[in-house]
Amino acid sequence: MARPTPDTAVDLAGTRSGPKAVTRRRSPARSAGLRPRRWIGWLFVVPALAFYVVFVLRPILLTFQYSLYTWDGIGSSTWAGLNNYAKVFLDPDLFASIVNAFELIVFFSAIPVVLGLVIASTIRRIATSRLALVARTVIFLPQVIPLVAAGIAWSWLLSSTGLINQLLGYAGLDGVTRAWLGDFSTALPAVGVIGAWVLLGLCTLLFLAGMSKIDISLYEAARLDGAGPLREFLSITVPSLRQEIGVCVTVTVIAALASFDIIYISTQGGPGNATMVPGLEIYYLAFSDRQVGTASALAVVLMLLVLIFALPVQWLTRNRST
């Protein structure tokens, strides 16, 4: 009987079961056959990637390029370097628009998040009643109303002869009435109230969706330990909604910093520059004053501010949830 060759011995050993079994190597022809399949997967990504590059990355790069020049949008441009960025922070009007956007964060973000948590917790307690369905519908209604229509409606309500002043007059508070959107001291808070009204429904529904995932036994155990509604809210509801709170804070902060529609419809940045925000300032600089370079620099600064606020919130939410 002929002795087995080394290759045959390896094959015989490979057929044995156990830790010493030798696995078969994938043939080069088979590996080469899998490569086209991988490329086919990438082909499905190409349309979305091309759309993202053309309509997102390319405008960002062009905006940064324009911010380095002095240009009116039509004629020849002149190299300006970082002068446009210096103007954003040294010009009182431009810097004031950034300050106004930060003030709007209180109304656009803090109020909807806090009120949304309270309202969602209240609706959860009456979830079995028809009142809960009506409350969810009414609170979410501003999300389906166009912002232009919302701005016009609130302009009527907050005018000197609007419903708000009429109600104050019926309550005997005639001395408090004023043109809320036309007064230097109340115009920005009035715009903030409109933004809070619009974003409250979104935050409330997000919190309600998050509360549906909380184990009911946690609340039952807390009640057995003598915890009241406030303790349940602070010790169970709020910690369990960490991710939802992070999403709401991110969305509302971006809405405050990039606000445009409501302010343009209701005040157009007035009275004076009391309600001027970066988004509206960029529009005026680029299309009215023909200062494309300065407008682009302010747009880049605005984008960086959004990233500075949004990325840490997302990172903290993801880090603590693990």
Burial (CB < 10 A; 0-12, 13-18, 19+), residue 74, is exposed
Give 40 or 29, the one with higher predicted confidence: 40
Q: Could you tell me which of 121, 113, 107 has the C-alpha nearest to residue 154?
A: 107
Cα 129 to Cα 20, 56, 136, 237, 317, distances in angstroms: 67, 46, 12, 21, 33
Strand partners, 78: 70
User: What letter would DSSP give residue 213?
Assistant: T
The mean pLDDT value for 180-207 works out to 93
User: 3-class secondary structure for 150-181?
Assistant: HHHHHHHHCCCCCHHHHHHHHCCCCCCCCCCC
The mean pLDDT value for 68-93 works out to 93
The mean pLDDT value for 212-234 works out to 88
pTM attached to this predicted model: 0.82
pLDDT value at position 138? 87
pLDDT value at position 12? 41
- Here the tokens at position 265 are 């419809």
| Single-letter residue type at 103 | E
Which range, of 61-75, 202-216, 304-318, averages the lowest pLDDT?
A: 304-318
Whole-number Å distance between alpha carbons of 95 and 286: 17
- The DSSP result for 37-103, as a single string, is HHHHHHHHHHHHHHHHIIIIIHHHHHHHHHTTEE--SSS--EE-TTHHHHHHHHSHHHHHHHHHHHH
- Here the tokens at position 221 are 């155990």
Give 27 or 278, the one with higher predicted confidence: 278
pLDDT value at position 282? 95
CATH topology for 83-321 is MetI-like fold (1.10.3720)
Which range, of 9-18, 75-84, 180-189, 221-230, averages the lowest pLDDT?
A: 9-18
